Structure 1
């Protein structure tokens, strides 16, 4: 075995997290410890010359040499959390989810990978992607580039009832919510920022058309998330409702929410928040008898109308 092959073998062992002993290596390769010391010195020199984010150090308590990273790395705990979130999202195809998980695991040592693999094994096996089965990774990256470049694009978009439309838009932000990725884009035809589900984009291409927005029409996605529910913008309102459920459930749903009064005799709290009305109505109706909307009055009337329509459907079905 020549020196180059021996050094590559040692370097591979170090890269895969092994502790290498000079005496053990000398026995394995049938050379003197001095030769192994020279090999290790050359590996150390190679790391320095190539500006790799590693350092070869001697661990006295372990009785050997170890390759440690000098770059800030993500912890195995963070990798586990990210994988769990990705699996729960169901947003990617099975192939893309496999690619994503394997890529995240590659950021940590083999030992850490071996700890995480059995924890996620069951979820990986039973992973069920969403019905659209559209690859998204490349498309999301492409849209992100257009946002950075302020590039207008023309898309062929499949609407809710499966009909196709063509829209020329200026992408402004990408948001993930309730299983889906959305691109928020300014549509000059409607002079408004609209939401487009990325999995429904069937084709896109750049356009030479210049789309100008006013300062007030620019998207502040961080701020928007404070008021947005189920990706339904609607009209911004100051909402007030009495809640009999677990208060944290409502406070977490509405980031700007505060408890403004408590009613211990009723087991309820009064919550005030600023939010968009359409998505808020969807969540409030899902809470059944645990919620009573108090303000604004026109929104109360809207909720009452919706409840009456719901009751009418059940009344009609029971009479059939």
Structure 2
């Protein structure tokens, strides 16, 4: 009977929002061992699973302070395999502050079993120890959410934007969407001259709702999926086709890197290819330079000349 009383005591205390360490639970149920505490928690969770009115409840450890608490599961939850994949991708982007990363990890893993929590914790432990967020160090989750709400409300916004030289300037734009690319979150919007502008969200300060009304031009920038397939390093500019020779490298990596890629010539025996891609702006130049002698730009001529000029500058550094 004592065990049933202890279980009820624990149940009501968790229901009221109290949180306990494993040692504190051991004291509550009569100085029991950690193994016994674990059995009590497992028994409560098993009980929750047997009744429809409690199947959404779960007692889990919050890894922030290693205290147990009662959580309410949604009808549809991530399983451990999905959570591990999401966290691996998220950590590798380095796009959020260390505090935000730990918050997300805690919120996601709170809804899975302790065994799976331990598996995921072990899988990402080394990456978290060596996690280096971006130098701006600014928390972004709330800002991203706020700006996204303004976008969905079809509002115009006004904000101060600081460039790489930390020089501030006031902008008023019609925000179109938020995207992530190459380490940073970006806001894409249009100004009163129907110009498409791209802003790093961490450099946006003091954003407020504005009353200005802007016309939305017919631009490929407003189709986020199409933009992400064609823009590199978030450089703005004209939409164009680029063709280049690719020799001696892994062609699969090129096709994976550029979703719009087409192979105009294929010589698998000699590992020589002519590739055509669609791009926006000249951000592609950075990738071309990273490929060294494996790449030769064919067209357009303007990009070809820029590529040659950059190669000459690199050569000059060694003279």
Query: Structure 2: how far apart are the matches of 1:255 and 1:121?
Result: 33
Query: Structure 1: how far apart are the matches of 2:197 and 2:265?
Result: 36
CA deviation map 1:141-190 (0-9, x unaligned)? 001101100111111110121101010111111110111000111121x4
The answer as to 2:202 corresponding to 1:199 is yes
Task: Show the counterpart of 1:99.
Answer: 103
What pairs with 1:100-249 in structure 2 (closer than 5 Å)? Answer: 100-188=104-192, 190-216=193-219, 219-244=222-247, 245-249=249-253
Unaligned runs of 5+ in 2: 15-31, 33-43, 59-72
Q: Which has the larger radius of gyration?
A: 1
Decide whether aligned partners of structure 1 residues 212 and 218 sit closer, same or farther in structure 2, where only a CA change above 3 A counts.
Answer: farther
- Matched residue count: 276
Quote how far apart the aligned CAs of 1:308 are: 2.1
Decide whether aligned partners of structure 1 residues 76 and 300 sit closer, same or farther in structure 2, where only a CA change above 3 A counts.
Answer: same
Task: Show the counterpart of 1:269.
Answer: 273
What pairs with 1:280-319 in structure 2 (closer than 5 Å)? Answer: 280-315=284-319
Let me know the Cα RMSD of the aligned residues: 3.2
Match of 1:86 among 80, 87, 90: 90
Query: Structure 2: how far apart are the matches of 1:263 and 1:82?
Result: 38
Quote how far apart the aligned CAs of 1:310 are: 2.7
Task: Output the TM-score relative to the length of structure 1.
Answer: 0.77
Task: Show the counterpart of 1:258.
Answer: 262
Quote how far apart the aligned CAs of 1:248 are: 1.6
Task: Output the TM-score relative to the length of structure 2.
Answer: 0.77
Query: Structure 1: how far apart are the matches of 2:89 and 2:298?
Result: 35
Maintained 8 Å contact 1:185/1:193:
yes
Maintained 8 Å contact 1:192/1:217:
no
Query: Structure 2: how far apart are the matches of 1:187 and 1:180?
Result: 22
Decide whether aligned partners of structure 1 residues 93 and 287 sit closer, same or farther in structure 2, where only a CA change above 3 A counts.
Answer: same
Aligned-partner SS, 1:314: coil
Quote how far apart the aligned CAs of 1:280 are: 1.2
Deviates more, 1:101-110 or 1:151-160: 101-110
Deviates more, 1:171-180 or 1:112-121: 112-121
Decide whether aligned partners of structure 1 residues 120 and 183 sit closer, same or farther in structure 2, where only a CA change above 3 A counts.
Answer: same
Decide whether aligned partners of structure 1 residues 107 and 273 sit closer, same or farther in structure 2, where only a CA change above 3 A counts.
Answer: same
Query: Structure 2: how far apart are the matches of 1:192 and 1:44?
Result: 56
Maintained 8 Å contact 2:194/2:217:
no
Query: Structure 2: how far apart are the matches of 1:302 and 1:201?
Result: 31
Unaligned runs of 5+ in 1: 13-27, 29-38, 56-68, 316-320
Query: Structure 2: how far apart are the matches of 1:246 and 1:4?
Result: 66
CA deviation map 1:283-309 (0-9, x unaligned)? 111111011111222322222222223
